């Protein structure tokens, strides 16, 4: 079936378009789909974090031109010498911290026809990145086991969905409005985050003009 726009009148009697499927006879059917025409993006990376102090592991910064809606954050990893346990939390801040060596992964588009992303994702290596000014309390707190890389004694590394927690249905996206709005993943227990870990993360988000 083809996806054909249908022209309708809104409450002000102004014409506008709505998406609809159309069958072989040309009959329009209301469009119901788990997909979306709103552009979605992903940033993903594997990196060696700094483990000496509580710090920002990675973050996403809002956009100057779009409203950013974070739909999913996943994280996993492994340790080199002994199993470890990462204790971390998700925090909104009004500014980026300082001190770390910033690395910005290349953003991927879920739809190749989408415009370039305007939100910026960053992770930090080499030096500790402090946590920016918190806005409210933690949005999520979690633990991620880090098995030994060569001998996974506590199970193979699996991506943990830290937002929405355990992969539960999303109630509302984490919304960023403006470049002074950040969502950060913060290591809160450095002592339990030793043994030369390597982390992998993915952030998925959409951008719209709301």
pLDDT category at 160 given cuts 50, 70, 90 is: confident
pLDDT at 37: 78
Looking up tokens 């409203």 gives 67
22 and 45 assigned to the same domain: no
| Residue 100 in this model has a pLDDT that exceeds 60 | yes
Residue 121 and residue 18 share a domain: no
Q: Within this chain, do residues 113 and 10 fall inside the same structural domain, yes or no? A: no
Residue 143: domain span: 40-208
Overall number of domains in the chain: 2
Residues 46 and 74 reside in one and the same domain: yes
**92 and 15, same structural domain?**
no
Pair (73, 3) in one structural domain: no
Residue 42 has pLDDT above 80, yes or no: yes
- Confidence class for position 18, pLDDT limits 50, 70, 90: low
Q: Do 29 and 87 belong to one domain?
A: no
**Are residues 106 and 162 both part of a single domain?**
yes
Q: Both 50 and 138 in a single domain?
A: yes
- Please, how many CA atoms are within 13 Å of residue 101, restricted to the half-sphere of its CB? 7
pTM of structure: 0.81
């Amino acid at each position: 079936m083809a996806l054909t726009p249908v022209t309708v009148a809104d409450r002000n009697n102004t014409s506008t378009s709505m998406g609809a499927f159309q069958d072989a006879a040309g009959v329009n059917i209301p469009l119901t789909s788990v997909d979306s025409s709103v552009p979605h993006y992903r940033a993903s990376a594997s990196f060696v974090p700094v483990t000496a102090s509580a710090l920002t592991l990675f973050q996403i910064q809002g956009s100057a031109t779009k409203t950013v809606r974070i739909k999913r954050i996943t994280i996993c990893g492994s340790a080199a010498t002994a199993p470890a346990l990462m204790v971390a939390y998700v925090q909104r801040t009004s500014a980026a911290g300082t001190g770390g060596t910033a690395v910005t992964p290349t953003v991927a588009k879920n739809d190749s026809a989408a415009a370039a992303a305007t939100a910026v994702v960053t992770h930090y290596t080499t030096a500790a990145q402090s946590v920016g000014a918190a806005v409210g309390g933690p949005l999520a707190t979690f633990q991620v086991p880090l098995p030994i890389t060569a001998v996974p004694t506590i199970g193979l590394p699996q991506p943990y969905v830290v937002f929405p927690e355990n992969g539960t249905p999303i109630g509302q996206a984490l919304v960023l409005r403006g470049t002074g709005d950040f969502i950060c993943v913060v290591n809160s227990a450095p002592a339990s985050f030793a043994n030369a870990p390597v982390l992998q993360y993915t952030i998925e988000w959409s951008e719209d003009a709301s």
